[in-house]
Amino acid sequence: MEPTPIVELKNLTKVIKGKKIIDDLSLQLYPGQITGFLGPNGAGKTTTIRMMVGLMKKSGGEVVIDGQTLSADFEEALSKVGVIVENPEMYKFMSGYKNLLHFARMQKGVTKERIDEVVKQVGMQNRIHEKVGTYSLGMRQRLGLAQALLHRPKFLILDEPTNGLDPAGIREFRDYLRLIAKTENVSVFVSSHMLSEIELMCDRIAVIQNGKLVDLRDMRETQEAHYYVEAFPADQTFELLGTLGFKTESVNEGFVIQAEKTHIPELVKALAAAGLELYAIQPHRKTLEDQFLELTGGGQLAETASK
């Protein structure tokens, strides 16, 4: 039985100056799952996120968070949400702990025990009493995550959370986020232009183009099997692969074919029988970037870091 979604976007629409920026967008987000949100420049990602947190008025449709609509129960619905935007703002002259204490006072029922708990969750016990001004960007990002988690949200929205982080900082942040999604059973929604990062971080991806949801896929499902084949001469190899009925595309020095493992022995025999020199046959997995470019027709990947 499928779990109950924490968040539902139902036919969400936004019209600006007669133009549909978001067109009838429907999406369900589940507890304990990280969903990546991708789209080319101007596809409507930021507009969608703004409508989800009530920063922009929708033209039609509904946002439901934990059974409550933004239209009817705005404050109650948003009390279940934690938000991290690119490079969260903190008071640099105060310690990390005092920043959290300050934010905790704005929420109902956040105890000092809860502050200690989130500090531990993001691995900042050793530095939490130092001034934020001494923190690296990665540490400020982790403090932002701690702040967003203070009130035990059921839904966490992150907009470009790893922008500007070095590879170690990105990996740390990803690990903490995955851990929190699982241990706290939070539904996480991440908008990013870093496709390799989304691929490692997310359970599912939703792709938006021209305001419409064009794809929703589970990252854990196995893709169709592909193999990379390199043999010489290349033109004769291409011809043979076509004759054998393989769907073939040219990649680097060789070809990628759609094939099952069981097809490979026959293929090797056919290449040898044709007198072709075989250099490589190996499993080939299309990257998320390849899939994204196929889906969006090669549009720019997403909002740039300077948006």
Whether pLDDT at 164 is above 90: no
Residue 114 pLDDT greater than 90, yes or no: yes
pLDDT surpasses 70 at 304: no
Q: Are 33 and 188 in contact (CB under 8 A)?
A: yes
pLDDT for res 235 = 93
Q: How confident is the model at residue 307 (pLDDT cuts 50, 70, 90)?
A: very low
**What pLDDT is recorded for position 306?**
33
H-helix or E-strand spanning residue 81: strand 81-85
Which pLDDT score, from 0 to 100, does residue 297 have? 66
With a pLDDT cut of 70, the percent of the chain lying above it is 89
96 neighbors 127 (Cβ within 8 angstroms): yes
Residue 10 pLDDT more than 80?
Answer: yes
Q: What is the DSSP letter of 130?
A: S
pLDDT digits (tens, 9 = 90+) for 25-76: 999 999 999 999 988 878 888 899 999 998 899 999 999 999 999 999 998 9
Q: How confident is the model at residue 163 (pLDDT cuts 50, 70, 90)?
A: confident
Does the pLDDT at position 139 exceed 60?
yes
Phi, psi torsion values for 148, nearest 5 degrees: -65, -25
How many CB atoms are closer than 10 A to CB 154?
17
CA 142 to chain centre: 17
- Residue count of the chain, please give it: 307
What pLDDT shows up at residue 95? 95
Predicted confidence at residue 162, as pLDDT, reads: 81
**Distance, CA of 236 to CA of 227 (rounded, Å):** 18
Distance CA 214, CA 207 (A): 6
What backbone torsions phi and psi does residue 237 show, to the nearest 5 degrees? -60, -45
For residue 187, give both structure tokens.
Answer: 């539904």
Q: How do residues 87-112 score in pLDDT, each as one tens digit?
A: 667 889 999 999 999 989 888 888 99
pLDDT above 80: residue 249: yes
**Strand (E) or helix (H) holding 12:** strand 7-16
Dist. CA 44–CA 25, nearest whole Å: 10
DSSP assignment of 19-77 equals EEEEEEEEEEE-TT-EEEEE--TTSSHHHHHHHHTTSS--SEEEEEETTEETTT-HHHH
Q: Alpha-carbon distance 125 to 170, whole Å?
A: 19
Would the pLDDT of 223 be above 60? no
Which domains, and CATH codes, for the chain? 7-218 (3.40.50.300), 226-285 (3.30.70)
Residue 234 pLDDT > 50: yes
Confidence at 1, pLDDT banded by 50, 70, 90? low
SS3 175: helix
First CA to last CA distance, the chain:
41
- 256 pLDDT higher than 60: yes
Check: CB of residue 34 under 8 Å from CB of residue 217.
Answer: no
Q: What is the mean pLDDT of the chain?
A: 86
Query: Would the pLDDT of 148 be above 50?
Result: yes
Using a 10 angstrom Cβ sphere, with 0-12 exposed, 13-18 middle and 19 or more buried, the burial of residue 57 is exposed
Please tell me the predicted confidence (pLDDT) of residue 87.
64
Give me the residues paired with residue 12 across strands.
Answer: 25
Measured between alpha carbons, how far is 38 from 194 in angstroms, rounded to an integer? 9
How far apart are alpha carbons 135 and 92 in whole angstroms? 9
Question: Inter-axis angle of helices 167-184 and 112-121, to 10 degrees?
Answer: 130
